[in-house]
Every structure is written in C-alpha cells, then in structure tokens.
C-alpha cells in the first residue's frame, strides 16, 4: 500500500535550518510529484511548493523563495524539504503529499522554532 512516512519532530533555534524527509513506498516514486504544505499551530494550511521527482523541477511559494529547497533521492524514494534562516513563525506541522494532495499525505512533522 502507498505510504509517505515523514521524519520526526524537530526543535530549532531562530536562524537555524531544518531538513525534513518524506519516504515513499508502495508506488513508483518517479511517477508522481511531491508537494509540501505546512500548518501553523491552530491555523490553516499553506502550500509551500512542489518538486517533480521525474526531472527535479521545483516550484516554490514566493514568500519562501531563497529559504526553501526541495530535493529528492530516487535511490531511497525519499523527498526532502529544507528550510533555512528559521523564524518563530515557521513553527508549524509540515506535510508532504503525493502530487497535489489528491490522495496520499505524510503524517506530518512538527517543527518548533524557539530560542
């Protein structure tokens, strides 16, 4: 069965970086894009961007440009999302989703940014 399993919770200081993994199984990894969505505590959803696993083409939300990098490792069927220069308002649960969220999502990774 299809699964997206994300890495565990992280606590970071302002200015640091975080890299979250999303390991896919149960399907051919290269045939679907991976999207990243985040949700601040008690807040709504924010689409961060996506990566084409096929050709590594990325599309990022403009507000995150320069701070976010999405990558994949096809040898391990794993997608990664790195966010740099963390601020307190980056505290959120980060989700990966297959393609554009139409079917499978990861369980979410809580990133807490606090001094």
Partner 1 sequence: DVVMTQSPLSLPVTLGQPASISCRSSQSLVYSDGSTFLNWFQQRPGQSPRRLIYKVSNRDSGVPDRFSGSGSGTDFTLKISRVEAEDVGVYYCMQGTHWPYTFGQGTKLEIK
Contact between 10 and partner 1 (CB under 8 A)? no
Residue 104: CB atoms within 10 A of its CB come to 17
Q: Give whichever of 57 and 74 is closer to partner 1, judged by the CB atom.
A: 57
Query: How far apart are the C-alpha atoms of 101 and 51, rounded to whole Å?
Result: 13
Burial letters 33-52, b for 16+ CB under 10 A, else e: bbbbbbeeeeeeeeebbbbe
Under rule CB under 8 A, residue 25 binds partner 1 = no
Q: Which of residues 77-96 bind partner 1 (CB under 8 A)?
A: 95
Tell me whether residue 15 or residue 26 sits nearer to partner 1 (CB atom). Answer: 26
19 close to 33: Cβ distance less than 8 angstroms = no
Provide the minimum distance between the beta carbon of 115 and partner 1 in the complex, in angstroms, as a whole number. Answer: 28
Contact call for residue 102 and partner 1 (CB under 8 A): yes
| Residues near partner 1 (CB under 8 A) | 37, 44-47, 49, 59, 61-63, 95, 97, 100-103, 105-108
């Amino acid at each position: 069965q299809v699964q997206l399993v994300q890495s565990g919770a992280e606590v970071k200081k302002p200015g640091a970086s975080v890299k979250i993994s999303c390991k896919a199984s149960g399907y051919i990894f290269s045939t679907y894009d991976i999207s990243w969505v985040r949700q601040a505590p008690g807040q709504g959803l924010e689409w961060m961007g996506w990566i084409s696993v096929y050709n590594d083409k990325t599309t990022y939300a403009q507000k995150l440009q320069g701070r976010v990098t999405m990558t994949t490792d096809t040898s391990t069927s794993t997608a990664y999302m790195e966010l740099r220069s963390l601020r307190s308002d980056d505290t959120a649960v980060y989700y990966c989703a297959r393609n554009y969220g139409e079917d499978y999502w990861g369980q979410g990774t809580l990133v807490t940014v606090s001094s």
